Structure 1
Amino acid sequence: MTGRSGKAAAGPRGRLLLVLALAVAVTAFTATVPLLRGFFDLRVYYGTVHTWVHHGGRIYDYRVPGTAYGFTYPPFAAVVMLPLAPLSRPTAIVASLLANLAALAVVLRLLAGDGWRRHGWYRWALCLCVLALFEPLRDTFSFGQVNLVLLALVLVDCRLLASGRGRWAGAGIGLAAAVKLTPALFIGLLLLVGRRRSAGIATAVAGAATAMAAWADPRASRFYWTEALWNTRRIGRLDYVSNQSLQGVLARLGEPDRVLWAMAVLLTLCVWARRSRGAVAAGDWTAAFALTGAAACLVSPITWVHHLVWLLPSFAVLMRAGRLRIAGVLYTVFCTSVVWLWYDDASGVDGFLGSNTYTWITLGLLLGLPTGQLRDDRPPLARSASTTAPAPSPDSPRTTAVPDQPESSSGVLDAAATTGAAAAAAVACGFARRASSEPTGSTRPAAEKPQSSSARASSYTVNPPPS
């Protein structure tokens, strides 16, 4: 009895020690090896709002001191970020971290489904350690970015549609599309599969939000929709290695032909439409949303590495379908920052293959992501390991139900531990990111003209308020 009690007590203690050790290792890695981004994008949001509210400046006049970079989102995004106005910079950083943590919790909850409690604290702790190694996710936190919040909004609609409670589905997509244009492709998904009501709600919400921003600042709205939107160079260099879109691949090849890019986008959208319709026809809304996230990353003119948090649902789908090795390998690659090995020179065959590694993975997910694994419209991790067999009757032999999936959801978070170990090993073998002098993936030489309707920067740029 004493020996059994000792083993039972050592189990939880050992798990706790393992989680603590792994958390310390992950923290040490993220604090020292990757290039931390210094909350650069949050500085853009914060400075823009303070310029607009406290200094009488224009939304698109502001530039981060010492750089030529300013606000690049639609005006409604600035309206959403107005709560930053009364905050100090340190408080704004804390608010950004809390918002992203809350968004991550929502994303994990939605992807895990109703059986999320079954996994227990140990598996969730391992999962969080693994997620901390994922480059797009850690860059999202380090930049102070908003993509994780937008992903949470979109996945809320996915859950509503998958659960049959889609009467008001579309509002989250509409809000996300009003903040940033990339999620607008999800409206296309709703139209594609005949969910006209949800598509109408999404469009109405996005339109109302955009109209509210136009009322708040007509001049900024006019400038954005007539000029800034069409000038992709204002965001940064298309050939910068952080741009993991189809446009980025062509730009690094030195191919400026927009016709070729348009053809690649059209072909990608055709594949997306075919596969997404098949997924929805099979009742697999999560796979359809995962495919749409991957397609949006490919067709967007600029997809910085931190934008690739839109691929998180794809990994959930892979694990749900029992493709744990594939998910582990691909996830490990995303933890290595391997594309930065070609930061200085992306020429040659190795440069073509290596500098676009994340693009190839995204394209592979679009082409090969398994769909139709769920028939009951439940979220991806909700299905249990076995199907309950009916009670045998005297007139029929006893039968055993066979699961219709090769892998149970209860093993997904255990697999995350293996993935994390592989990722840590790969990083330790020398694939960690090379240091860069640039503060952000988008801060390469800027557009030839300022992101403003005037040639001046705001007074805030010259005399920023104290933190």
Structure 2
Amino acid sequence: MAQGARRAIAQVVAVVALAVAVTAFLSVAAVRHGFFDLKVYYGALTFWVHDGGEIYDFLKGGTQYGFTYPPFAALVMLPMAYLPWPAAITVSVAATVVVSAVVIWWLLDPVARRAGWTRWFVLAVALCLAAAYEPMRETVNFGQVNMLLLFLVAVDLLRLLPARNRWAGVGIGLATAIKLTPGIFIVYLLVTGRWRAAFTAMGAAAAATLAAAALFPDASREFWTEALWNTDRVGELAFVSNQSLRGVVARLDPEHPSTVAWLALVLATLAVWGWRSRAAVAAGDEATGLALTGATMCLVSPVTWVHHLVWLLPGLILLVDNGMAAPARSRRRRLLLAAALIGYAFLISRIVWAWEKDFTGVDGFLGSNAYVWISLALLLALPIRHWATPTGGGPAERGGPAGSAVEPGGVAQLEEPDRVPPAVQRDRVGGLLPVR
């Protein structure tokens, strides 16, 4: 049997073994939420479309939870009201799986190319690992929309913006119209000087919002004047699932959480984010800009449930990217890969739930906010990839894909050739193996 065939068989066996191991892990670790959030969306839409009620008046039986997204999200989800419940579940899960695979592929494929790894094998392993990732499995089990929003933002930042596409910003605008928190990416575009994309995003968000208002004026009026400001609909701030800075402050004093302390932390976080984001874009590293902004969004949002932390996935993947780009057997490579492994291990462990009932004391402060510390670590320490770039012009003018290095001739390169295995370098010289 040829060596290539033996390798392929070994990789198939490895993927199957990993999938079995992840399935066994999920059978023990994953919480079955019964598509709770999807039931809220489905119930609210059914109440609105078939029962003649107002969508923001709906509350799921026995709870305070109702539809909390803007009217444009209701417009996007409207077809769900005409599907049977099992079909709604199928569409939700399938959409999350597909867009997750695409985003992970965009981030990991350059790493696989540079390292000379088999690309389908890398994607298969990554999807297995993503299935065990707590925010991802919570997104699926709740029926949430987090990965769809991440996909819309990634289309802009990883594909359209680096290609100087005139539609860059539309994805961010639509994500903002569906759920307000991705609006931080509009600020990201402004802070980093991409004015055209920023105004395109604002225009797309405004157009989507106005279209929903024209179609559903009563629902729009109720959302913007009442439902948006009703914080009781989203849950308790001190609940351990709230892995934001607001959650940290609330758990220090659940009865009287300090708004001043929270705002001070938010301002400091935004200052660091603005500085690091500008540095990332100046280096042409749009993927790191995406990761830094996703981590910041999780930190500064008043409520960041565990399933929202899918926005940390790009940061973890980029730690692997930076580690593999470092010289083999170097201390930098070991540290970066260890950081990625430790962050991932914590984010599959459900560790914060050990303090669900009692988050007092030093151990409670450290343990119940474990995922917040990971978000902060990514914001503060995620390396910016200073690939070689031509002088002059911003990243939008450099013509290369996000996170790549582009020489004037258009050939993507790493800053240091010894970061790539010799066999891969030989293939590049022969023009057989693209870098990114």
Task: Tell me the TM-score range normalised by the shorter chain.
Answer: 0.7 to 0.9
Distance 1:196 1:381, change over 3 A: closer
Q: Is the 8 A contact 2:250 2:258 kept in 1?
A: no
Could you give the per-residue CA deviations for residues 27-83 of structure 1, whole angstroms, max 9, x where no partner exists? 122133321211111111111111111111111111222322111111111110011
Distance in 1 separating the partners of 2:202 and 2:419: 36
Rounded Cα–Cα distance in structure 1 between residues aligned with 2:125 and 2:69? 35
Contact 2:322/2:385 (8 A) holds in 1: no
Matching residue's letter, 1:378: P
How far 1:407 moved relative to its partner? Answer: 9.2
The Cα RMSD (Å) is: 2.5
Match of 1:71 among 49, 67, 81: 67
Q: CA deviation at 1:13?
A: 3.1
Aligned-partner SS, 1:168: coil
Alignment-derived partner of residue 325 in structure 1: 338
Which consecutive residues of structure 2, in runs of 5 or more, have no partner in the other structure?
324-335, 390-399, 425-436
- Displacement after TM superposition at 1:98 (Å): 0.9
Instruction: Please tell me whether residue 49 in structure 1 is matched to residue 62 in structure 2.
Output: no
TM-score by length of 2: 0.84
> 2: distance between equivalents of 1:263 and 1:290?
23
Q: Partner residue of 1:291? A: 292
Paired AA for residue 97 in structure 1: V
Once the 2 structures are TM-superposed, how far is the Cα of residue 238 of structure 1 from its aligned partner? 0.1
Say if 2:58 is the partner of 1:84. no
Residue correspondence of structure 1 range 60-459 to structure 2 within 5 A? 60-113=56-109, 119-160=118-159, 163-254=162-253, 255-322=256-323, 323-376=336-389, 377-380=400-403, 402-403=416-417
- Distance in 1, matches of 2:172 and 2:280, equals 19
8 Å contact kept, 2:72–2:209: yes
Counterpart of 1:242, as a letter, is S
Where relative contact order (Cα < 8 A, 6+ residues apart) is larger, the structure is 1
In the aligned structure 2, how far is the partner of 1:161 from the partner of 1:100? 21
Contact 1:161 1:285 in 2 (8 A): no
C-alpha separation in 2, matches of 1:360 and 1:87: 41
Question: 1:106 & 1:281 partners in 2: Cα distance?
Answer: 26
Q: Which amino acid aligns with 1:152?
A: F
**Aligned mates of 2:58, 2:421 — CA distance in 1:** 51
Q: How many Å separate the matches in 1 of 2:388 and 2:146?
A: 29
Deviates more, 1:135-144 or 1:215-224: 215-224
**Higher mean C-alpha displacement, 256-265 vs 286-295:** 256-265
Please give the alpha-carbon distance, in whole angstroms, between the structure 2 residues aligned to 1:353 and 1:238. Answer: 17
Q: Greater shift after overlay, 350-359 or 30-39?
A: 30-39
Equivalent runs, 1:6-45 vs 2, <5 Å: 10-45=6-41
Residue identity opposite 1:353 in structure 2: L
Residue by residue, what CA displacement relative to the aligned partner does 1:350-386 show, whole Å, maximum 9, x if unpaired? 0000000000110111111111333454344899xxx
Counterpart-to-counterpart distance in 2, 1:113 and 1:19: 17
Any idea what the Cα deviations from partners look like across 1:127-179, whole Å, max 9, x if unmatched? 11111111001111111110100000000111235533242210000000000
Distance (whole Å) between structure 1 residues aligned to residue 68 and residue 421 of structure 2 = 43
Query: Conserved in 1, the CA contact under 8 Å of 2:64 and 2:233?
Result: no
Cα separation, 1, equivalents of 2:287 and 2:199 = 21
| Aligned partner of residue 335 in structure 1, secondary structure | coil
Larger Rg belongs to: 1
Alignment partners' CA distance in 2, 1:33 and 1:361 = 20
Closer/same/farther in 2, CA of residues 153 and 116 from structure 1, 3 Å limit = farther
Task: Confirm or deny: 8 A CA contact 2:44 2:55 kept in the other structure.
Answer: yes
Any idea what SS the aligned residue of 1:122 has? Answer: helix
For residues 305 and 224 of structure 1, the distance between their equivalents in structure 2, rounded to whole angstroms, comes to 25
Shift, 1:224, TM fit: 1.6
Instruction: Structure 1 unaligned segments of length 5 or more: list them.
Output: 391-400, 411-467
Deviation at 1:205, TM superposition (A): 0.6
